[in-house]
Structure 1
Amino acid sequence: MTLTADAAPLPADHWPLASVLVVDDEPGMRSFLEKALAGRVGQVRVAAQADEADALVRRHRFDLVILDITLPGRSGIAWLKEQREQGQGFEAVLITAFADLDTAIEALRAGANDFILKPFRLTQMLNAVRHGLERASLRRENFLLRRTVSQRTPTADGLVGSSIAIRGLQAAIHRVSQVHSTVLLTGESGTGKELAALALHRHSARAGGPFVPVNCATLSPDLVEIELFGQAARATPGGRAGRDGLFVYAQGGTLFLDEIGDLPLALQATLLRALEERRIRPVGGEQEIPVDVRIIAATHRPLAQEVAAGRFRKDLYYRLQVVEINLPPLRSHKEDMAELVAHFIDTLAPQLGVPPIEVTGDELAFLGQYDWPGNVRELRNLIERSLILGALNVSALYPSLPRAPATGLGGGGAVAGVGVGGAPTDLHTLEKQHILAVLESVGGDKTQAARLLGISRRTLERRVAEWGLHAAD
């Protein structure tokens, strides 16, 4: 065996979360690669033959395998082919001292990602390792993008507000983030469960790993098992290629299972086993894959009632409910309204490329009268719509908002519907001013104004007729 040293500095690549397996029957080569990678990756394991590699793969999850082709017993190519058929999606760098074109083609068909001839320079191997880990990272990102999973950027603690309810929630998140237990987030839709999950992840020791959110309610019932656990390759000519699932993409990080109450009953037993044993079996595969993932689940359903009705497994419910955090509805902490409105204006205006809008105290008071069945998400959507239109779009909530009482000032009193300084204090006045402003901005075009307002042209015409006004068609 000949190893070539490099005169040039070694690449400063460092992958603290990566795990690499070296499989080679030469002790010198195993030792050389183990020492070279020990300071660059989070974990390095070595094996002298295929059987040893089998045992390691069953116990650990690897991002990349450096594999010698010539091994005692099974060859490296035969071993790699078996692993691919079992659903293992690690990157593979094959090395050999004896190779021809047919061997290289066979290695690529078996699932090799790179092919290196001995003797090689260390920089050559490190470059192959870097490319392999970059491919793995890019594959994960592309997979998540194809599924259109959003990762919003929240505030430092993920949730905005200074009310007693929000401060208590923030304290619970900080406390629970320090442990690795499974967490169940409960609360109505739109209360910010994904933001809470992301805050739990970012404050935890897993912050350097991926945060993979998935909405169980949007998964196809026919594909949900493949989405979560992956699929083994079919060992037939022209058979399907294997694919990793979300558990694999969340390796070393957090898997957020939103709307867990919508997960099919038949799959709940499989999920329970994965949570308890920290192992998954890809669909169509025979070999289990170890995973290191923290689970955060969320639901707007009362799972205890779902269990009683037979729609959710009791054992899975108790397994998820190790720590339960309930997120309060917006109507219970309306004192945070001003902070929330300011936060959404500050964050959404730059994203939309529009100037911020001003929201008066009277308008905030109106927002405080609404019950917000869609919670913080509904408020966010209102502010986004208002920014596009250039003013607070209270008509979007009409007729749900109640009419505010007129402000009496004593003596002659104020004109009904007009507050201090002439600011309107009833919803109808605000609505009229907003609609007329939109009509004026489009030259009286009712069709365009209705589209901007998010109402039908007939509704707009009825409003205008009630006010005894006329607008161009």
Structure 2
Amino acid sequence: MPDTADPSLQPATAPREHWPLAAVLVVDDEPGMRHFLEKTLQPRVGQVHSAASAEAADDLVRRHRYDLVVLDIALPGISGISWLKALRERGFDGEVVLITAFADLDTAIEALRAGASDFILKPFRVTQILNALRQGLERAGLRRENWVLRRALHQATPAADGLVGDSIAIKGLQAALQRVAAVDSIVLLTGESGTGKELAALALHHNSPRAAGPFVPVNCATLSPELIDSELFGQAQITGSTPGSGRPGRDGLFVYAQGGTLFLDEIGELPPAQQATLLRVLEERRIRPVGSEQEIPVDVRIVAATHRKLADEVEAGRFRKDLYYRLQVVEINLPPLRAHKEDMAALVAHFIATLAPRLGVPPITVTDDELRYLQQYDWPGNVRELRNLIERSLILGALNVSALYQGLARQDRRQEAGAPRTAAAAGTTALPATTDLHTLEKQHILAVLDSVGGDKTRAAQLLGISRRTLERRVAEWGQGG
């Protein structure tokens, strides 16, 4: 029996802050050992279940999710090693620490081959078992972090760099994010598409006490309605009637975000059924994996974002009013680019500096006249649209004036058709740009044509226009042939 006089056994002195929130299963046929481990681990990890046999433990594993299993080898009925092999075959990937009073080298080797994470001989000291279990939970945490990193790399998309600039609008946004980052409240980020909501969520995370934990982004609009529950909350293991059949258990994004931040982008796209489930999770801080009867406590900060006006969605019956109010603890609106065009030069310089090395191309020079042309456009795609323009321009070797000209032409057509102008656009003094912009367009198109040896088909592809349009432009300038 362990040394129960060890002060680390007492729950009151348990160093809870050094232990991750986790679910642990203890499997041992000795009641004293089960009681000792339950009493020792409960204040440290938050959730501990126990079983006296592999058969009873198997029933628990089918219904609940565990981060770590403490397993005795010598059990009545199925032995610990035999049950461990069956667990691994069914897809259980949690940590397993084997304990036994009778072991030799062959047993230890067999245990490790069966998938044990650690192997401890009885009797053991409290510090010995605690160190083994803490290391096992740290390994489980590293696996979650690695999964998050792999997922982020797999889904990597350029960040919408919307926080660059010195305008009043951006400085106000930065100050608001700094204040809110220090508290653990739910945050709702609103604003048009392309304004940089994910970057704002990252800023909240990195400036918060949770910065050492994972940042897990998920776009609710891209989740299949049939898989949303299992993606967010995980699913319990289901065993089929024949060996190898059934469905392995899996963790959801809430579990992967333990101790960190879960960013729910486009929350307005969440179906009604999942809105109700999410509301319960936000209120109770517990999730229930699909197919499980057990709820799992979660320790995550929620940051949600939407380009929709959720108040209008509530009025239309498409979004739950109670969930809207729960998310609206702190609401931060990100300004559209047209509201802070004075940041254009800083944004352009930022994108050139970050994208040119990534693309492996030399930086381009943007003149003051070109910057003024950029400021005439309303940028309906916001900072993301500007970023895409700079990326295309870097590939072409000069500012992509043709794309800007097309955007301004569409903007002019909307205004001629009577479309209301934004307050920001209405307050901007339009420059007499038509002639100069045509000149810039001509210079750019002819430069691209020259760079491809006069190949109009290739030049049209690079310019993003049709060959017929290119030929018409060239004919207008008397450059045919």
Q: TM-score, normalised by structure 2?
A: 0.76
Query: In structure 2, the residue corresponding to 1:399 is in which secondary structure?
Result: helix
**In 2, distance between residues paired with 1:310 and 1:44?**
41
1:204 and 2:208 are equivalent in the alignment = yes
Displacement of 1:433 in angstroms is 0.9
Post-superposition CA distance 1:365-391 (Å, at most 9, x none): 000000000000001111111111111
Q: Report SS of the residue matched to 1:162.
A: coil
Partner of 1:114: 117
Maintained 8 Å contact 1:61/1:291? no
Q: State, as a whole percentage, how many aligned pairs show the same letter.
A: 66
Does structure 1 residue 358 correspond to structure 2 residue 365?
yes
> Does the residue aligned with 2:98 lie in a helix, a strand or coil?
strand
Shift of 1:125: 9.7
SS at structure 2 position matched to 1:371: coil
Aligned to 1:192: 196
**C-alpha distance in 2 between matches for 1:82 and 1:315:** 45
Aligned residue in 1 for 2:155: 149
The one-letter amino acid paired with 1:362 is: D
For residues 245 and 47 of structure 1, what CA distance do their matches in structure 2 show? 20
Q: CA deviation at 1:230?
A: 0.8
Match of 2:385 in 1: 378
Determine the C-alpha separation between the residues in 2 that align with 1:273 and 1:74: 39
**Residue among 158, 169, 173 paired with 1:165:** 169
Pairing of 1:96-111 with structure 2 (within 5 A)? 96-98=100-102
One-letter amino acid of the structure 1 residue matched with residue 458 of structure 2: Q
Match for residue 400 of structure 2?
A: 393
What letter is aligned with 1:342? A
The AA in structure 1 aligned to 2:455 is D
Post-superposition Cα deviations, 1:281-308, rounded to whole Å, max 9, x if no partner, equal: 1111111111101000000001011011
Partner of 1:324, secondary structure, is: strand
Whole-angstrom distance in 2 between the partners of 1:108 and 1:380: 52
- Cα 1:68–1:265 shift into 2, 3 Å: same
- The residue aligned with 1:176 is 180
| Superposition deviation, residue 453 in structure 1 | 1.7
From 421, 435, 443, the counterpart of 1:433: 443
Q: Which runs of 5+ in 1 are unaligned?
A: 4-14, 408-415, 418-425
User: Is 1:463 paired with 2:473?
Assistant: yes
Letter of the 1:93 partner, please give it. V
Q: Which residue of 2 aligns with 1:255?
A: 262
Tell me the residue number matched to 2:349.
342
CA RMSD of aligned residues (A): 4.5
The corresponding residue for 1:227 is 231
- Residue by residue over 1:32-72, the C-alpha shift from the partner in whole angstroms, topping out at 9 and shown as x without a partner, is 9x99x9xxxx9567969449xx9xx9xx9975444444579
Amino acid at match of 2:249: G
Superposition map of 1:327-338 within 5 A: 327-338=334-345
The structure carrying a bigger helix percent of its residues is: 2
What's the secondary structure of 1:296's corresponding residue?
strand
Give the residue type in structure 2 aligned to 1:266: A
Label 1:466 to 1:125 Cα distance change in 2 as closer, same or farther (>3 A): farther
Say which SS state the counterpart of residue 407 (structure 2) adopts: coil
Shift of 1:351: 0.9
User: What is the distance in 2 between the residues matched to 1:312 and 1:49?
Assistant: 42
How many residues are paired up?
A: 431
Are the counterparts in 1 of residues 186 and 330 from structure 2 also a CA contact under 8 Å?
A: yes
From the superposition, tell whether residues 372 and 452 of structure 1 become closer, same or farther in structure 2 (CA, over 3 Å): same
Deviates more, 1:391-400 or 1:199-208: 391-400
Q: 1:299 aligns with which of 298, 306, 315?
A: 306
Deviations 1:113-170 (A, max 9, x none): 5352526999999689757744653455346635733376788xx7111111111100
| Residues 288-336 of structure 1: per-residue CA shift (max 9 Å, x gap) | 1111010000000010110111100011000000000000000001001
* Alignment-derived partner of residue 420 in structure 1: none
| In the alignment, structure 1 residue 447 sits paired with structure 2 residue 457 | yes
Instruction: Give the Å deviation of 1:250.
Output: 0.5
Query: Given the superposition, is the C-alpha separation of residues 440 and 43 from structure 1 closer, same or farther in structure 2, using an over 3 Å criterion?
Result: farther
Where structure 2 has 5 or more consecutive residues not aligned to the other structure, the ranges are 4-16, 413-429
CA distance in 2, matches of 1:329, 1:48: 51
Q: Which residue number in structure 1 is paired with residue 420 of structure 2? A: none
